Amino acid sequence: MFGSIFNADFIASSIRIAIPLALAGLGGVFSERSGVTNIGLEGMMLTGAFTAVAVTNFAQNPWVGVLGAILVGILLGLIHAITCITFKANQIVSGVAINLFASGITVFFSWLLFNETQIMAKYSLPIWGFPIPIKGEGYSWVRSLIVIFTHYSPLVYFTIIIIILSHFILFKTPFGLRLRSVGEYPEAADTMGVNVNKMRYIAVMTSGALAGLAGSFLSLEQAHFFVKEISGGRGFIALAAMIFGKWTPLGTAGAALLFGFGEALAIRLQSVTAVPVQFINMVPYLLAIFVLVSAVGRAVPPAADGIPYEKEIG
Amino acid sequence: MPEIALEMKNITKRFPLVVANDKVNFTVYKGEIHALVGENGAGKSTLMSILYGLYQADSGEIFINGEKVNITNPNVAINLKIGMVHQHFMLVPPLTVTENIILGMEPIKNNIFIDMEDATKRVEKLSKSMGFKIDSKAKIEDISVGIQQRVEIIKVLYRGADILIMDEPTAVLTPQEVEELFGILNSLKKQGKTIIFITHKLNEVKAISDRITVMRDGKVVGVKNTKDTNQEEIANMMVGRKVLLQVDKKEHKFGKTVLKVNKLNALNSKKLPALKEVSFEIREGEILGIAGVEGNGQTELVEVITGLRPALSGKIFLYDKEITDYSPRNIREQKIAHIPEDRRQRGIISDFTVSENLILGSHYLPPFNKGLSLNISEINSHADKLIEEYDIRPSDSYNLLKSLSGGNQQKVIVARELFGEPRLLVAAQPTRGLDVGSIEFVHSQILKERDKGKAILLISADLDEILSLSDRIAVIYEGEIVDVLDPKKTEEKEIGLLMTGSTTNKILSEVK
Amino acid sequence: MKSIKKFDYYILLEKITPLIAVILALLVGAIVILIIGEDPIFVYKTLFSNAIGNRDGWGNVLFRATPLIFTGLAVAFAFRCGLFNIGGEGQVLIGSFLATWVGFTFTDLPAFILIPLCILAAAAGGALWAAIPGLLKAKRGVHEVIVTIMMNWIASSLTFFLVLKFKAPATEAMKAAGVQQMIPHTSEIAQAARLPRLYTILKALNIDFPSYNQVNVSFFIALAAAALVYYILWKTNLGYEIRAVGYNPLAAEYGGINVAKNIVLAMVISGALAGLVGTNEVMGFKYRWRQELFTGLGFNGIAVALLGKNHPLGVVLAAILFGILNYGGAIVNIYTEGRIPRELIMVLQAVIVIFVVISDEVVKRLIRKRRKLA
């Protein structure tokens, strides 16, 4: 029984579940490291999911769909940025508004363009890597390796690259240094000539792009369809992963993977235990709460996170 | 005739309520240490902020090395080789020393990454030229204030500053660190740098500067060579009148012991020891003043006594009752009043009305609270009474507290705390940021309580206030009470030395 | 006095920013309608005339406004303590389910006991669900935003499990219509647990009103709740402490207020308000529990609270406005034969929120600038 649960497919499953969490969580990292809370990741992911399917079906090309999702994510990020940075509105309220907006507009266009609330993705991205050998043929450890490392949607490989890139950008480049200073002590950064608002705009729009990308993976690559509220709270779980990962790209990715394991395990346990499926469904959310409670005190957010920057004008 | 490095001509800057700089002329020679001196609000910080591009003057001109310049933002100032070491350090706590220094001007390798080796090398070279070593990989939040200041200085030199503005640099330093700083400044002077030194500490002015410009109420009232003047003359120029806080303190006998603090130990927010075996007593009708540089445990002492912070060990007694670790509500019920040092953060709720603020702390008691609901009419009439008694302006009780001036806000706090006849009054920095009229008012209220036989614990960074109000003075240094003095038998100099940790009569040596 | 007059003008402006936001949002909506190829004037005329032009319309508007009043009050109350209660969805689900369970379990009790009992159960369910994030925040400092949202999803799964456990067979009416029972529901609550429709009350007063209209006594419970919230916040010691904590927890602590206790109390009361939605949907309308009766209420409650400036009177007015938009949107959808989806209203509501938030800040800054110069 143990072997039937913890095998190569389990790991691959976990990775796939973790991808949207990691991407959205990474978006959260950029945004909050610059000092802007982004609760709207859920809505950006949802809109990205819809856009990916819609654009894919119209353009008959999944790559264009992914691109569309990213662009829409950037657009929503821009709205959040304008509201929070230029108008200095409450960042949580703005995030909630974006989620409301996304819920409405995705179904709205769903009806308008397809006359349906569930839209099948007509295309999806090709799998990159080696094909999985049929069970029984060849060595089983070769099969395991292929399944775990080389049989994924291109977006999975992109995600890993983006995570590593983000780590270097955040901690080894001037851009990253300035971004972090803006999120910790914007007044000091300002006196050093760093443009606080510009950095924040870039960070928030980046978070939108990543959340949109996360959504495209969800609808194009995992589910192969769009249905309303398909994001299912993942945008918020991603925030929990970000907090558990101490606002670092690698930490967030690790936490996302943990969530992936948790959910994959829960799904597999379904077939083995008598626990009703609804309780299994609760696992990711309970895990997120547990993560948040344990992170208190240990994980400290950027000092200026959530506080609009007011220049002291003479 | 020495070269002129900087000339500010006819600078005027107006803010909505005050003229901060009024036709100010300010000249600094190359290679000199020039002290800019004046009381709080005299206009020195504003003038330097204009020089550094943080503000723009309404009128006037600035010349650097003879050329007219227009300094619109700090980047322009930096390009003109002007550097500013702020009073409140502009350092990002979780970043390292090197990261803070290079922020905004990072050396790059391979066109993308920060060249940390190069940065570290440069930082170490600069600090060596100053004559000190610095751990370039240390995080700002882990190093002492004195070292943080050195980081600020290197930051400024890294950008090639020739003119350094230092805003109240010794405010947070120990005497040892002050001497080290002066050594660094002299070293910079030898390298040909020009230094502007803002301060209100006159002994330092004498020790380090070549020339002095004195400002008062936005105007320049005197420019002197340091060796041609003395502290008394400078003080008179600064203040414009002989300063003696006239306070009417009556002699009387003291009563029973009200507050007894016994071997109190406590930690601060960083889990470091803030209070070490602190013991003292206050009697009825007595004002005990705690003198000390801010950050030596006064804040924690007040918090422990008023229930806002737990004690690590030790006991506190009010008359004979032990009140250690009482909650703030219990402390209030024991008739202990607290005027907090941070008025805006602790003392008032700016979005509440004057009425609502005046009942904070006793809002749940009759007559303000009856059964299930508040007695609004009683609350309002109570407010009207206090507003009249304390002359709080504007006089409408429904005004939100954020629309009142600082002085009136403090009046609300004092009115509230003194109502109900507290047995012990803890007053922390009660006149900070207030105008002269409000200061006199608060002082008279405190003395009134003293005359009524109440015990008062007064904490203040203003030595004049401590000296004129206290019956006894306890000096606190690094969490310990180092001595208890009789104000009639001591003077500022002795207290100042105790406050800064010297136990012998060591005079600040002339470093020049 | 001149200076006071100038301030009054801006304070008035502050109070009507919601109206400005709504008008702007309607303009945006008009543009969207144009882009789709429909006539905005026709759309808005249809919307408003049907919603508030006749008694049946008003009935539907108030019926839809009632749950929004409850969730709006819930969000507003929590916000007064500085808390973001995004968990309205979950609190509504748990509270309404508990009320339903009481309603179909204690069928022998008479109405004057059963009805208050059910109402209490609704409030208790919501209060309990909100107490968890409240305690986590008060005792452990865990931020309530993500926790409440997670609790929503947990409540959704939990109630789905429960409704399967207490499943009732398809009704005769459904069988006759050939409708498959896609969405599970519970058995009906006892007759003694049902709240009368407004129709029955008006009929007794000889006022004409359609008998099929769903608006019921719960609307008056909502109004009573609003009055109660006003009373608590501004006329009691509890409300004083909650508002103090919401404005400045440090000063509240200094003033002897137990900050943790008030955080929990605020969340509990907030959750109770949300739970009361069950009185409208279950006790007053469907008389049984179905999950999709409650979708979207929690988040709309946030929009209503914001629009109503977190004040009970504002919440009631904002809820009625949203009721008008909701019902009107459904009508428009029918009149345009599905060409304009009902979700347009959702989008409009989100746009309203964004505009409210922006115009709030703009006016606040104008006031601050004037105050500096005065």
Q: Tell me how far CA of residue A283 lies from CA of A275, A279, B142, C93, C151, in angstroms.
A: 12, 7, 40, 19, 11
Q: How many beta-carbon contacts under 8 Å exist across B and C?
A: 64
Of all residues in chain C, what percent carry a pLDDT higher than 90? 45
Q: Tell me how far CA of residue B461 lies from CA of B341, B431, B476, in angstroms.
A: 11, 10, 11
Kindly indicate whether the ipTM for this predicted assembly is greater than 0.90, answering yes or no. no
Closest CA to C79 of C258, C322, C301, C276: C301
B112 contact A CB<8A: yes
DSSP annotation string for B243-254: ------------
Residue C2 pLDDT: 40
CA distance C39 to chain B (A): 46
Chain A contacts of B94, Cβ < 8 Å? 180, 184, 303
The CATH number given to whatever domain includes residue B175 is: 3.40.50.300
CATH architecture of A2-295: Orthogonal Bundle (1.10)
Q: Do C251 and B347 touch (CB under 8 A)?
A: yes
Q: How many Cβ atoms from other residues are within 10 Å of residue B66's Cβ?
A: 9
Give the SS3 label for residue B325.
Answer: coil
Q: Residue B217: inside a domain, yes or no? A: yes
Q: Are residues B132 and B95 in the same domain?
A: yes
Nearest CA in chain A to C299: A100
* Unique residue bearing structure tokens 């999709």: C292
Confidence of residue B504 (pLDDT cuts 50, 70, 90): very low
Per CB distance under 8 Å, which residues of B are interface residues toward C? Answer: 16, 306, 308, 327-329, 331-332, 338, 340, 345-352, 356, 360-361, 363-364, 369, 372-374, 376, 403
Nearest CA in chain C to B394: C4
CA distance B90 to chain A (A): 4
> How large is the average pLDDT for residues B292-316?
91
Q: Are residues B63 and B128 in the same domain?
A: yes
Residue B323 pLDDT: 95
Nearest CA in chain A to C133: A289
Q: Are residues B296 and B405 in the same domain?
A: no
Residue A299 pLDDT: 79
Identify whether the C-beta of residue A23 lies closer than 8 Å to the C-beta of residue A85.
Answer: no
Chain A contacts of B93, Cβ < 8 Å? 184-185, 303
HSE of C240, CA atoms in CB hemisphere, 13 A: 26
What confidence tens digit (pLDDT) does each residue in C331-374 have? 888 888 878 888 888 888 888 888 888 888 888 777 777 766 54
User: Angle at the Cα of A18 (from A15 to A19), degrees rounded to 5?
Assistant: 90
Q: Are residues B85 and B154 in the same domain?
A: yes
C2 contact B CB<8A: no
Element (H or E) spanning B23, and its range?
strand B18-29
Of all residues in chain B, what percent carry a pLDDT higher than 70? 95
Q: Residue B340: inside a domain, yes or no? A: no
CA B229 to chain centre: 27
What confidence tens digit (pLDDT) does each residue in C243-255 have? 999 999 999 999 9
Q: Are residues B360 and B466 in the same domain?
A: no
Range of the domain at B384: 345-420
C-alpha to C-alpha distance for B474 and B481, rounded to whole angstroms: 6
C-alpha to C-alpha distance for C271 and C71, rounded to whole angstroms: 9
Q: How many beta-carbon contacts under 8 Å exist across A and C?
A: 127
> How large is the average pLDDT for residues B344-350?
90
C45 contact B CB<8A: no
- pTM greater than 0.90 (yes/no): no
Whole-number average pLDDT of chain B: 87
Chain C contacts of B402, Cβ < 8 Å? none
Taken in order B109, B112, B114, B119, the sign of the CA dihedral is: positive
Q: Are residues B82 and B191 in the same domain?
A: yes
- Which of A111, A237, A296 faces C343 most closely, judged by CB atoms? A111
Q: Residue B11: inside a domain, yes or no? A: yes
Last residue of a domain, one of B215, B239, B263: B239
User: Angle at the Cα of C216 (from C215 to C217), degrees rounded to 5?
Assistant: 145
Torsion of CA B291, B295, B301, B307, to 10 degrees: 140
What confidence tens digit (pLDDT) does each residue in B53-98 have? 888 899 999 999 989 999 998 889 989 999 999 888 889 999 999 9
Closest CA to A102 of A168, A45, A171: A45
Confidence of residue B195 (pLDDT cuts 50, 70, 90): very high
User: Angle at the Cα of B335 (from B329 to B339), degrees rounded to 5?
Assistant: 80
Residue A132 pLDDT: 76
Q: Are residues B388 and B435 in the same domain?
A: no
> How large is the average pLDDT for residues C156-183?
76
Confidence of residue C117 (pLDDT cuts 50, 70, 90): very high
CA distance A234 to chain C (A): 10
Beta strands B336-339 and B59-64: pairing type?
unpaired
Give the SS3 label for residue B290.
Answer: strand
DSSP assignment letter at A228: T
Q: Do C150 and A236 touch (CB under 8 A)?
A: yes
How many domains does chain B divide into? 3
Q: Do A87 and C141 touch (CB under 8 A)?
A: no
Q: Residue B151: inside a domain, yes or no? A: yes
C-alpha to C-alpha distance for A33 and C115, rounded to whole angstroms: 52
Burial-class residue B478 by CB neighbours within 10 Å (0-12, 13-18, 19+).
middle
C-alpha to C-alpha distance for A241 and A292, rounded to whole angstroms: 9
Q: The sheet that has B18-29: what strands, in order across it? A: B18-29, B4-15, B59-64, B67-69
Q: Do C256 and B327 touch (CB under 8 A)?
A: yes
Task: Give pLDDT tens digits along chain A (314 positions).
Answer: 566 667 888 888 899 999 999 999 999 999 999 999 999 999 999 999 999 999 999 999 999 999 999 999 999 999 999 999 998 888 988 998 899 899 888 988 888 888 888 888 888 888 888 777 776 666 777 777 777 888 888 999 999 999 999 999 999 999 999 999 999 999 899 888 889 999 999 999 999 999 999 999 999 988 999 998 899 889 999 999 999 999 999 999 999 999 999 888 888 887 777 788 888 889 889 989 998 998 887 778 898 888 888 765 43
Residue B446 pLDDT: 93
Q: Do B49 and A189 touch (CB under 8 A)?
A: no
Domain parsing of chain A, residue ranges = 2-295
Identify whether the C-beta of residue C67 lies closer than 8 Å to the C-beta of residue C276.
Answer: no
C305 contact A CB<8A: no
Whether residue B502 is predicted with pLDDT greater than 80 in this model: the reply is: no
Q: Are residues B330 and B349 in the same domain?
A: no
Residue C53 pLDDT: 84
Last residue of a domain, one of B186, B211, B239: B239
Q: Are residues B183 and B331 in the same domain?
A: no
Chain A contacts of B75, Cβ < 8 Å? 193
Last residue of a domain, one of B188, B223, B239: B239
DSSP assignment letter at C318: H
CA distance B102 to chain A (A): 9
Q: State both tokens at A195.
A: 């443009």
Neighbouring subunits of B (3+ Cβ pairs under 8 A): A, C
Q: Are residues B227 and B367 in the same domain?
A: no
Interface test with C, best of A76, A84, A85, A100 (most C CBs within 10 A): A100
Chain A contacts of B158, Cβ < 8 Å? none
C157 contact B CB<8A: no
Q: Do B55 and A188 touch (CB under 8 A)?
A: no
C-alpha to C-alpha distance for C96 and C120, rounded to whole angstroms: 10
Nearest CA in chain B to A167: B113
Q: Are residues B276 and B357 in the same domain?
A: no
Burial-class residue B23 by CB neighbours within 10 Å (0-12, 13-18, 19+).
middle
- Which of C235, C240, C256 faces B328 most closely, judged by CB atoms? C256
Whether residue C178 is predicted with pLDDT greater than 70 in this model: the reply is: no
Q: Are residues B401 and B425 in the same domain?
A: no
